[in-house]
Structure 1
């Protein structure tokens, strides 16, 4: 882990969704290293292993947790019952939530819009919009009652990208949630912000989001996404997990106390 700020989240309870793998796990690892009592939420049972390894290994790796802890919670956030259950479990575990980082989502299929089946479109929206919508709704009464809190949503610059129209629609909704909810939440002392990641290098997923490209045509469609992503980036490359986790952690921290309603593109210059 690079350039952590020890103690930045000391005394804070931070819930990170989609935390078993990828950007979510990188964020959870970072905020725990910076002192957060971190609750990793994911529908994959892998989240418990990830949380245990984080709790046991961060000090040994030389980062230090500055008093932070890590625990895993399994929940399917695509339903309100799943999201509210996860928030309730987090409250039972730690008594409060200072920061919610909504990271669940990801493209399931990669193909031109005319090739999507109606049920595939619905599944893309269900995967990449509703977990953020439901989790925000579930945590909001608690944060209002405490007169404070931070919600960081993870959108995407793929709102302007090829072969992912349903995913783009879902992530456009995440941007809209951020802007609209920030207006409502500000009088209660709650900040609502977001990042919009671009293409990000990550290890192979232990739990796949969906089917991998199989035919030559499917592989060509996916390559179009890669080519467009790199072409739209001024830096002409994919980002790293650390490069995505760092701005999310910043926006979640008190250092960003005068930022709300904003969506920060983290895509090498591609604004989406």
Structure 2
């Protein structure tokens, strides 16, 4: 990231909280924000992985602290916001990245408790963290929120997850209406297929079955088929879009859901 010719210091003097920052898109966003001058709060519930990202940022000359909490709960979101304010005294940027489908299967194959777990993972964290951070931004009359949605809202085998991400898109637009008078912008990226490599923390509680693997292959095939650019994105490409929407240069953008998907719509 330090060798990226496109980096500048757009976030000098700002504090950015990135949720789900221990790996994948969240990690890439945290590293890039720090490289562009932000003091970053690496927010996650996985302590070893969050500490590794913090150490990576510091080793590159950036500033970072970790904040641990389970963002599927209100208490966890409160803890993250409090830790950020204790560490740096302000929050200028919030990136809501927590989420991700747990299972891939036809909707009628989901058990009721699995549907609830999908919603708990991919909808509540954005709702709770916005609720915890927004009062601070309203009081300061400044801030930028970037939510992470998904182009999976037009995909197969992930209905509970797509319902959550459709909700994240709706949250973005509604909050943008409510917060504009307070100079708080709210935008969203909708990633397409993104190659995040081997996950440090598996999403599924048990190894996928042969049928699960077949359905996931169906998801991957549709993703590539629908994209104009016939490849998956990198986490850094998603982070670049996140940072643009969070940056001062995007000061007249709010309420947008930006597909970052190689051409796929939402």
TM-score relative to the length of structure 2 = 0.96
Q: Deviations over 1:194-225 (max 9, x none)?
A: 00000001121111112466332221101000
Partner of 1:35 in structure 2?
37
Partner of 1:100 in structure 2?
94
SS, match of residue 72 in structure 2: coil
State the alpha-carbon separation in 2 of the partners of residues 80 and 158 from structure 1: 26
Kept after mapping to 2: 8 A contact 1:235/1:268:
yes
Partner of 2:253 in structure 1?
259
Partner of 2:243 in structure 1?
249
Q: Deviations over 1:152-202 (max 9, x none)?
A: 000000011000000000000000000000000000110000000000011
State the alpha-carbon separation in 1 of the partners of residues 231 and 190 from structure 2: 16
SS, match of residue 138 in structure 2: helix
Query: Does 2:8 align with 1:14?
Result: no
Q: Deviations over 1:32-54 (max 9, x none)?
A: 00000000100111202221222
Partner of 2:169 in structure 1?
175
State the alpha-carbon separation in 1 of the partners of residues 212 and 79 from structure 2: 37
State the alpha-carbon separation in 2 of the partners of residues 160 and 221 from structure 1: 16
Relative to structure 1, the CA distance from residue 122 to residue 241 in structure 2 (aligned partners, 3 Å threshold; closer, same or farther) is same
- Select which of 89, 114, 133 maps to 2:127: 133
Partner of 2:56 in structure 1?
53
Gaps of 5+ in 1: 60-64
Query: Does 2:118 align with 1:124?
Result: yes
How far apart are 1:89 and its partner, in Å? 1.0
Map 1:182-261 to 2 at 5 A. 182-211=176-205, 214-261=208-255
State the alpha-carbon separation in 2 of the partners of residues 211 and 223 from structure 1: 19
How far apart are 1:5 and its partner, in Å? 2.3
Q: How many residues were matched structurally?
A: 263
| The 10-residue stretch of structure 1 (89-98 or 206-215) with the greater mean CA deviation from structure 2 | 206-215
Kept after mapping to 1: 8 A contact 2:103/2:212:
no
Q: Deviations over 1:53-111 (max 9, x none)?
A: 2211x24xxxxx4xxx0111111000111101110111011000001000000010010
How far apart are 1:226 and its partner, in Å? 0.4
SS, match of residue 259 in structure 2: strand
Map 1:84-99 to 2 at 5 A. 84-99=78-93
Cα RMSD for the two superposed structures: 1.1
How far apart are 1:251 and its partner, in Å? 0.3
State the alpha-carbon separation in 1 of the partners of residues 5 and 150 from structure 2: 24
Query: Does 2:155 align with 1:161?
Result: yes
Kept after mapping to 1: 8 A contact 2:68/2:79:
no
- Deviation >4 Å, runs of 4+: none
